[in-house]
Amino acid sequence: MSGHSTYEPKSGFERWLDERLPILRWSADHMMSFPTPKNLNYWWTFGAILAMCLGVQIVTGIILAMHYVPHESLAFNSVERIMRDVNYGWLIRYLHANGASMFFIAVYIHMFRGLYYGSYKAPREVLWILGCIIFFLMIATAFMGYVLPWGQMSFHGAVVITNLIGSLPIIGKPVTTWLWGGFAVGGATLNRFFSLHYLLPFMIAGVVGLHIWALHVPGNNNPTGVNVKSKEDTVPFHPYYTVKDGFAMSVFLIMFAVFVFYFPNVLGHADNYVPANPLVTPAHIVPEWYLLPFYAILRAVPDKLIGVLLMFGAIAALFILPWLDTSRVRSMRYRPTAKLYFMIFVLACIVLGFCGAHPPDQQVINGFATFQLLDSDLNTWVWLSRIGTLYYFAFFFFILPLLGLTETPLPTPESISEPVLSNSANAPAGAAASPEKRG
């Protein structure tokens, strides 16, 4: 879709600039007239929502950095000072803290959407991999950001996660020492985490640029997974999708605002309002909610190194997904069996999240006696997380490769316009009532 251009300079200045730096042409082609499939549903608005989240995090983060002090004996109080004495500091800090959670809610929906509609398949493999890189950078940024307030969970979370890296053979120890800036988590760690926490978002912004570039070469996938065939299948990005994305962003902001103004601390942990104390370990060290599924995978196996490898493997699997799925049909809308396994996959991820929040040896169903299986009772979170972990990896390495070879998909439409037209002819009223369900 790149290459064609409908931009016409309107004034002498625009003509003059267009011959020297065609930045207005570039903007018009990519942000205004870009041909976009007309059947994108609301799940496709999360790209714009994510861009907004990144913008909010960078703007609020830069302001916070003006007041924050990255020092082990001053960091905690400087954050509280932002909340108490900086004009609207409470707003900026709560936006930033809750913004991280909003960012992850949006990115998980965006990723599940890509998974469901086969947006990783040819010719969009690079687009998908760039997205995985963004996700990995987001995890690193969020983890380091959570360390900065230097509360109990910040400190002990940093100890746990950096020690994981130490369990890797050969490179583990030197990398850990390098991360710590010494021989334990301390002031030097805090200072370099602050530096990296400020750096990574701009790297994310750079990869987002590549992500959009890679998107604009083949153009958007769409809920049918069928390629755009003609001009009839598309609408210009502006005003059609600027207004639709704008509406979705505004609704997302309402949810964001509910957290910021009425439940600003509900997504965090009370222990992080206790200043860091290396001598007192909190009863349960848990990461923020968005990392809990990976934490559950880490703890699912008794061996630390294997746990670490599985945890990183869970993310690595995403990178090679385009070559694991053997089905030629993109959208799971036409793959009923795959759809079922996908739903179970989403459920497994949520269950893993719950597993990560609970101590592994605690009972899942209180008072329900079962039997001992290997090292633990069957009715414990550790066994549930093993089942979840098994399914997580089976989905990528077993179900998706085999299903593509064995299943019989439903017939896919000839073009994007075909199901659209038959759909509106059949049930216009119902379709209007729930536009997000429509193709």
Partner 1 sequence: MLRKGIALAALGLAFLAAPALANTNALPPKEAHWSDSGPFGKFDQAQLQRGYKVYREVCSACHSMNLMYFRNLGQPGGPFYEEKYKNPNDNPYVKSIAKDYQVDDIDSETGDVVKRAATSADAFPAPFPNEAAARASNGGALPPDLSVIIKAREEGQEYVYSILTGFGAAPPAGLKIEAGKYYNPYFPGGVIGMTPPLAADKVTFDDGTKSTVDQQAKDVVAFLTWASDPKAQERKQFGLGAMIYLLIFSGLLYASYRRIWRNVAH
Q: Which stretch binds partner 1 (CB under 8 A): 13-21, 110-118, 259-267, 367-375?
A: 259-267
Dist. CA 84–CA 78, nearest whole Å: 10
Tokens of 305: 């190194």
Residue 108 or 213: the one with the smaller Cβ distance to partner 1 is 108
Return the DSSP state at 358: S
Dist. CA 415–CA 397, nearest whole Å: 31
Tokens of 230: 């003609």
Q: Provide, rounded to whole angstroms, the least separation between the CB of residue 359 and partner 1.
A: 7
Q: Provide, rounded to whole angstroms, the least separation between the CB of residue 346 and partner 1.
A: 10
Q: Which stretch binds partner 1 (CB under 8 A): 27-35, 142-150, 319-327, 420-428?
A: 420-428
The reply on whether position 198 binds partner 1 by CB under 8 A is no
Kindly tell me which residue out of 362, 368, 398, 427 binds partner 1, with binding defined by CB under 8 A: 362
Q: What are phi and psi of 256, to 5 degrees?
A: -55, -45
* Other CB atoms within 10 A of residue 61 CB: 20
Q: Which stretch binds partner 1 (CB under 8 A): 111-119, 127-135, 176-184, 357-365?
A: 357-365
Kindly tell me which residue out of 103, 155, 259, 294 binds partner 1, with binding defined by CB under 8 A: 259
Kindly tell me which residue out of 289, 319, 341, 397 binds partner 1, with binding defined by CB under 8 A: 289
The reply on whether position 235 binds partner 1 by CB under 8 A is yes
Kindly tell me which residue out of 9, 22, 218, 246 binds partner 1, with binding defined by CB under 8 A: 246
Kindly tell me which residue out of 340, 421, 427, 430 binds partner 1, with binding defined by CB under 8 A: 421
Kindly tell me which residue out of 105, 111, 130, 142 binds partner 1, with binding defined by CB under 8 A: 105
Residue 38 or 192: the one with the smaller Cβ distance to partner 1 is 38
Q: What are phi and psi of 372, to 5 degrees?
A: -75, 130
Considering only CA atoms, give the Rg of the chain.
24
Return the DSSP state at 376: E
CA angle 288, 140, 130 (to 5 degrees): 120
Dist. CA 72–CA 397, nearest whole Å: 44
* Other CB atoms within 10 A of residue 227 CB: 15
Kindly tell me which residue out of 171, 184, 251, 320 binds partner 1, with binding defined by CB under 8 A: 251
The reply on whether position 264 binds partner 1 by CB under 8 A is yes
Q: Provide, rounded to whole angstroms, the least separation between the CB of residue 297 and partner 1.
A: 16
Burial class for 18, CB neighbours closer than 10 Å (0-12, 13-18, 19+): middle
**Nearest Cα to Cα of residue 24 among 14, 38, 13, 10:** 14
Dist. CA 401–CA 87, nearest whole Å: 55
Q: Which stretch binds partner 1 (CB under 8 A): 8-16, 23-31, 77-85, 398-406?
A: 77-85
The reply on whether position 156 binds partner 1 by CB under 8 A is no
Q: Which stretch binds partner 1 (CB under 8 A): 37-45, 66-74, 204-212, 403-411?
A: 37-45
Q: What are phi and psi of 363, to 5 degrees?
A: -70, 140
Dihedral sign from CA coordinates of 258, 58, 146, 271? negative
The reply on whether position 354 binds partner 1 by CB under 8 A is yes
- Strand-pairing partners, residue 36, are 235
Dist. CA 439–CA 427, nearest whole Å: 12
Residue 202 or 262: the one with the smaller Cβ distance to partner 1 is 262
The reply on whether position 69 binds partner 1 by CB under 8 A is no
Q: Where are the alpha helices (DSSP H) in 300-334?
A: 304-324
Q: How many residues form the binding site for partner 1 (CB under 8 A)?
A: 64
Kindly tell me which residue out of 268, 322, 409, 413 binds partner 1, with binding defined by CB under 8 A: 268
Which residues form the interface with partner 1 (CB under 8 A)?
38-39, 42, 77, 80-81, 83-84, 90-91, 94, 101, 105, 109, 235, 239-240, 243-244, 246-247, 250-255, 257-271, 273-274, 283-284, 286, 288-289, 292, 353-354, 357-359, 362, 417, 420-421, 424, 434, 436, 438-439
